[in-house]
Amino acid sequence: MTAESTNTGLSLYKTDARTKRRNAAEKRFRIYGMLAVGFGVLALIVLLTSVLGTGAGSFRQTFLTMPVALDAAALDKKGNRDPAEMAKVTTIGYQKILEKALIAELTEQKLIPEGMSTKDIGGLISKEAPAQLRNKVLANPDLVGQTISFRALANGRIDGYFKGRVTMESAALDSNVSPAQLELVDKMRGANLLGLGFNWGFVFDPDASELRPEAAGLGVAILGSLYMMIIVLVLSLPLGVAASIYLEEFAPTNRWTDLIEVNIANLAAVPSIVFGILGLAVFINFANMPQSSPLVGGLVLTLMTLPTIIIATRAALKAVPPSIKDAALGVGASKTQTVFHHVLPLAMPGILTGTIIGLAQALGETAPLLLIGMVAFVRDYPGAPPEGFLDPASALPVQVYNFTQRADPAFIERASGAIIVLLVFLLTMNILAIILRRRFERRW
């Protein structure tokens, strides 16, 4: 060995050029890493602030609270309290009652501005409120004749005023709301006639039309997504696990299994909209299943999720040490016993994690659902399973897409709110995956 190639004679206190270069390279790499992580965290923060900032408002809603006299002469002309008869009074009748009640309340509080028409005052109330009042009365006909305290949704523009979306300047240009109305609303707020409250309706109510953003909710979408997840779980978990076990433990390695393996890997990378087209062609056009139904959505998402689950399950099965398999075979367990008594339990955490990640992916999928009609405007809740699987429903991500398509700016808030709900579900599922993995994890 020559003197150059070794460090003989050099003090350890002095860093030689080569070591310096290596240390510098390491430092550089660390900085790159930190930059990459920092960028990711920043992107996440920006996303969350933007979504939370815009969407948080949808969980609070402006309500008008006032006593409403349910006039028997208007609501139940025959006076027999028969819901079938009372149903003849449409929402227009109830709207008049609400208008009257509001004017009465405003008069009492001496808040009525001069020259404001009844129509303008009634315009403060959401068009959805009469329908809600009507439902309430029809469900409980004994209310007729009484004076009840009713919490009515305020019009979307009024709601927007309190959330900063509508200003005096914009109201002056808006045909739907006038500055005079906003001034009145300010006074009403001072008199505690009107205020913001938590909006359960956003989570439980069905979608509402373009003109009533204040009433739009996610109830049908959440139920539709839930139904689809049930179908995906019930179909893809057993199918995926069975296929993985066969491929991993029983199938001979030959050209056919190689081909299947390559295809599964490719299927996982197929754009999801392709599965939508497949679903449209096979399930709806060929098998004549109903459009917009959670059943078709669930089947399409199952096809999409299967490769993910198979890949995750095979990886989990592969990770089980062969020594455990040898041990089981060595005491005379059959192949099936080995798999079900030893390999599968050990692979369970990995399988569950893969399944939940696959489900989360399916929950957030939009494109294939657009093609099978889940983009439709659905106001009726699907029925209870199993028949409910065939009823039209919406889905959370599709609902987000739907909201963003609408003109009223109030729907921007709704869309972000729907994203928050979706993210909460995804987060819950991922936390569940982590807990399950911790719980079932065993060391060997």
Partner 1 sequence: MNDMTLTERALEATEIKFAARDVQVYYGTSHAIKDVNIDILDKTVTAFIGPSGCGKSTFLRCLNRMNDTIDICRVEGDILLDGEDIYDKKVDPVQLRAKVGMVFQKPNPFPKSIYDNVAYGPKIHGLTRNKAELDEVVESSLRKAALWNEVKDRLDSPGTGLSGGQQQRLCIARAVATSPEVLLMDEPCSALDPIATAQVEELIDELRENFSVVIVTHSMQQAARVSQRTAFFHLGNLVEFGDTTQIFTNPKDPRTESYITGRIG
Per CB under 8 A, residues contacting partner 1 are 252-253, 321, 323-334, 337, 341-342, 346, 442-444
Q: Within 10 A of 34 (CB to CB), how many other CB atoms are there? A: 10
Closer to partner 1 by Cβ: residue 164 or 252 = 252
Residue of 172, 216, 209, 223 whose CA lies nearest to 61: 216
| Beta-sheet strands, E only, within 30-153 | 60-69, 147-153
State the minimum distance, in angstroms, from the CB of residue 434 to partner 1: 21
Considering only CA atoms, give the Rg of the chain: 31
State the minimum distance, in angstroms, from the CB of residue 31 to partner 1: 42
State the minimum distance, in angstroms, from the CB of residue 444 to partner 1: 5
For residue 340, the 8-state DSSP code is I
Would you state the structure tokens that stand for residue 440, as one six-digit string?
Answer: 């079932």
State the minimum distance, in angstroms, from the CB of residue 246 to partner 1: 15
Would you state the structure tokens that stand for residue 50, as one six-digit string?
Answer: 């933007």
State the minimum distance, in angstroms, from the CB of residue 441 to partner 1: 10
Question: What DSSP assignment string belongs to 88-109?
Answer: TS-HHHHHHHHHHHHHHHHHHT
Would you state the structure tokens that stand for residue 442, as one six-digit string?
Answer: 């065993």
Closer to partner 1 by Cβ: residue 336 or 428 = 336
State the minimum distance, in angstroms, from the CB of residue 352 to partner 1: 17
d(CA 134, CA 125): 14
State the minimum distance, in angstroms, from the CB of residue 349 to partner 1: 12
State the minimum distance, in angstroms, from the CB of residue 156 to partner 1: 59
Closer to partner 1 by Cβ: residue 270 or 327 = 327
**H or E segment to which residue 197 belongs:** strand 194-198
The answer to whether 437 and 319 have CB atoms below 8 angstroms apart is no
Closer to partner 1 by Cβ: residue 333 or 367 = 333
Distance of CA 440 to the CA centre of its chain: 28
Query: Is 19 buried (19+), middle (13-18) or exposed (0-12) by CB count in 10 A?
Result: exposed
The answer to whether 406 and 210 have CB atoms below 8 angstroms apart is yes
Closer to partner 1 by Cβ: residue 67 or 322 = 322
Closer to partner 1 by Cβ: residue 182 or 346 = 346
Q: Which residue in the block uniquely carries the two structure tokens 């009609």?
A: 373
d(CA 178, CA 297): 44
Closer to partner 1 by Cβ: residue 149 or 253 = 253
State the minimum distance, in angstroms, from the CB of residue 440 to partner 1: 11
Determine the 3-state secondary structure of 400 from DSSP. helix
Between strands 147-153 and 194-198, the pairing is unpaired
Closer to partner 1 by Cβ: residue 315 or 324 = 324
State the minimum distance, in angstroms, from the CB of residue 311 to partner 1: 22
Closer to partner 1 by Cβ: residue 45 or 319 = 319
Residue of 11, 133, 162 whose CA lies nearest to 66: 133
The HSE-up count of residue 200 (CA atoms within 13 Å, CB side) is 1
Closer to partner 1 by Cβ: residue 77 or 335 = 335
The answer to whether 301 and 233 have CB atoms below 8 angstroms apart is no
Question: Cα dihedral angle (182, 187, 189, 194), rounded to 10 degrees?
Answer: -70
Inter-helix orientation angle 410-440/396-404, to 10°: 160
Closer to partner 1 by Cβ: residue 82 or 326 = 326
State the minimum distance, in angstroms, from the CB of residue 442 to partner 1: 5
